[in-house]
């Protein structure tokens, strides 16, 4: 049924992919505005708390009744895809892991998803799709060359960076495997946001308290992060996972580094580089190879367990 629907609307995937890339990279703008006079853990706390509280009445009043098992599952995924993923990178940067290296590792999520698709989902990528995935990773590396250094952070901080990326990839394929993405998006996102908010509250309190700075830049940044980087981004992400394979959805994330640089140029006047455009071209070609014609080959039946 999904396959027939996708064929009936051939432009649906390009539109959803463009929306996913724009929203995925929009987090840069919100973080840029909010982190100038606030610790990043405080920013993440208010981002997830406001998002969860806005969604709460809709989650309670609209949609099926949520059982305890479904709530516990979504709490686990919230801890993984929000707290460990976002918080891990924030912790690594705080430990002086170079930002360029953190960005590079975080954007290797599609490569990890592709590697996990066979053992977890029973899906084998075609040779064409593996080439496209590799080209996407190469494009990300080209874009990151100018800011790529090893730094002097402790070894565990680098391991946290890699671990955060792997957690996001594993949580994505496990959600697809279990069928938990079939829960209405506003309900699952509400539970995940509030779970992450509780965990970020502990981290923010440890780093100085939960009170937000009373200035317009922080308020604008939180509003941006809630509307675009949380509601729109996670909504498009989970909707895409319902209609397409995780490898196809993950491949477009490779486009986020160059698009993030375009955000920086448009909103903050940051310079663009030749490497960015070269990397963008390589990544676009890789994403096209991954998403076009090549079909993921199932090697086992996937049993979906709805919450």
Element (H, E) at 8: helix 2-8
Per-residue pLDDT, averaged over 112-132, amounts to 70
pLDDT at 294 (0 to 100): 43
pLDDT at 98 (0 to 100): 67
Between 9 and 7, name the one with better pLDDT: 9
CA angle (179, 107, 195) in 5-degree steps: 50
Does residue 249 have a pLDDT over 60? yes
pLDDT at 121 (0 to 100): 61
3-state secondary structure labels for all residues of 226-261: HHHHHHHHHHHHHHHHHHCCHHHHHHHHHHHHHHHH
22, 51, 119, 154, 194 from 223: Cα distances, Å? 16, 9, 39, 34, 17
pLDDT at 149 (0 to 100): 59
Render pLDDT for 63-80 as a digit per residue (tens, 0 to 9): 888 888 888 989 998 999
The two tokens of residue 16 are 């959803």
3-state secondary structure labels for all residues of 151-215: CCCCHHHHHHHHHHHHHHHHHHHHHHHHCHHHCCHHHHHHHHHHHHHHHHHHHHHHCCCCCCCCC
pTM summary value = 0.77
Q: Shortest CA distance to 25 belongs to which of 140, 134, 111, 114?
A: 140
Between 64 and 94, name the one with better pLDDT: 64
Between 277 and 38, name the one with better pLDDT: 38
Per-residue pLDDT, averaged over 143-155, amounts to 67
Render pLDDT for 185-223 as a digit per residue (tens, 0 to 9): 889 999 999 999 999 999 999 988 899 888 888 898 899
CB 229, CB 86: distance < 8 Å: no
- Beta bridge partners, 124, equal 297
Relative orientation angle of helices 155-178 and 99-106, to the nearest 10 degrees: 20
pLDDT at 48 (0 to 100): 95
């Amino acid at each position: 049924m999904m396959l027939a629907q996708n064929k009936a609307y051939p432009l649906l995937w390009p539109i959803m992919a463009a929306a996913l890339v724009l929203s995925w990279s929009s987090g840069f703008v919100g973080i840029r505005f909010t982190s100038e006079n606030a610790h990043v853990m405080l920013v993440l706390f208010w981002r997830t708390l406001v998002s969860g509280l806005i969604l709460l009445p809709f989650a309670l009043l609209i949609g099926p009744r949520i059982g305890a098992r479904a709530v516990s599952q979504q709490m686990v995924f919230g801890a993984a895809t929000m707290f460990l993923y976002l918080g891990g990178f924030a912790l690594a940067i705080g430990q002086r892991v170079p930002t360029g290296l953190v960005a590079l590792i975080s954007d290797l999520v599609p490569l990890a998803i592709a590697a996990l698709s066979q053992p977890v989902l029973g899906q084998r990528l075609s040779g064409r799709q593996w080439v496209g995935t590799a080209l996407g990773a190469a494009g990300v590396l080209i874009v990151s060359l100018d800011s790529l250094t090893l730094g002097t952070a402790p070894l565990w901080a680098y391991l946290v960076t890699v671990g955060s990326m792997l957690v996001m990839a594993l949580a994505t394929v496990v959600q697809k495997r279990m069928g938990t993405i079939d829960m209405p998006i506003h309900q699952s996102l509400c539970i995940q946001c509030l779970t992450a908010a509780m965990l970020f509250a502990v981290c923010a309190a440890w780093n100085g308290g939960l009170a937000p700075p009373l200035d317009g830049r922080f308020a604008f940044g939180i509003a941006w992060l809630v509307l675009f980087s949380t509601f729109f981004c996670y909504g498009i992400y989970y909707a895409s996972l319902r209609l397409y394979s995780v490898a196809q959805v993950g491949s477009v994330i490779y486009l986020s580094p160059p698009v993030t640089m375009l955000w920086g140029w448009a909103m903050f006047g940051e310079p663009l580089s030749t490497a960015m455009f070269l990397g963008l071209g390589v990544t676009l070609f890789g994403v096209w190879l991954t998403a076009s014609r090549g079909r993921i080959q199932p090697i086992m039946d996937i049993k979906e367990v709805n919450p």
